[in-house]
């Protein structure tokens, strides 16, 4: 895995690996079922654009799009998975949004449905000033069915 510093995404030995911000994970390319992307309204103060690799409904791996190697990994996966180029489509979106990037059977469909989460510990005056409250994302039924 990568040394500390900027988050890093790599494709090595048949696995997508991520290391950064105190988080590490790996998933075998052979296990990938869906690749997607999502945005949040939290930028530019924090990461707000992510790529997500799904190997099952409970095996979901997130990495910031700004991670070193992200473009290279997606280009290599495009070749390895053989369904055309995996392309970003949510750049410059500043609200909650998501979409499937691969496979072609689901491309451009929404990945997550968002709902407001409990606001425990968040002062109402912050959300009243326009700061977003917490949200939860749930896989849409069509995506969940594809993962089954």
* pLDDT tens digits for range 44-103: 777 889 999 999 999 999 999 999 999 999 999 999 998 889 999 999 888 889 999 999
Q: Calculate mean pLDDT across residues 20-46.
A: 89
What are 63's strand-pairing partners?
51
Residue 22's pLDDT is what?
85
Q: Calculate mean pLDDT across residues 21-30.
A: 93
Residue 120's pLDDT is what?
54
Neighbours of 40 (CB within 10 A): 20
Condensed to tens digits (0 to 9), the pLDDT of residues 114-137 reads 876 555 555 554 544 444 445 578
Residue 3's pLDDT is what?
47
Peptide bond into 44 cis (omega under 30): yes
Q: Calculate mean pLDDT across residues 103-112.
A: 95
Query: How many alpha carbons fall within 13 Å on the CB side of residue 12?
Result: 12
pLDDT over threshold 50, residue 2? no
Residue 114's pLDDT is what?
80
pTM given for the model: 0.84
Q: What is the CATH number of domain 8-111?
A: 2.30.29
Boundaries of every domain in the chain: 8-111
């Amino acid at each position: 895995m990568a040394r500390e510093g900027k988050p890093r995404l790599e494709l090595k030995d048949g696995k997508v690996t991520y290391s950064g911000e105190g988080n590490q994970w790996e998933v075998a390319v052979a296990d990938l079922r869906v690749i997607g992307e999502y945005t949040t309204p939290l930028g530019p103060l924090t990461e707000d654009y992510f790529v997500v690799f799904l190997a099952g409904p409970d095996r979901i791996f997130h990495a910031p799009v700004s991670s070193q190697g992200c473009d290279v990994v997606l280009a290599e996966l495009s070749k390895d998975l053989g369904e055309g180029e995996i392309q970003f489509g949510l750049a410059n979106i500043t609200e909650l949004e998501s979409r499937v990037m691969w496979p072609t059977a689901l491309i451009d469909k929404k990945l997550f449905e968002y709902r407001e989460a409990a606001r425990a510990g968040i002062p109402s005056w912050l959300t009243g000033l326009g700061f977003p409250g917490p949200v939860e994302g749930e896989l849409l039924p069509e995506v969940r069915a594809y993962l089954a």
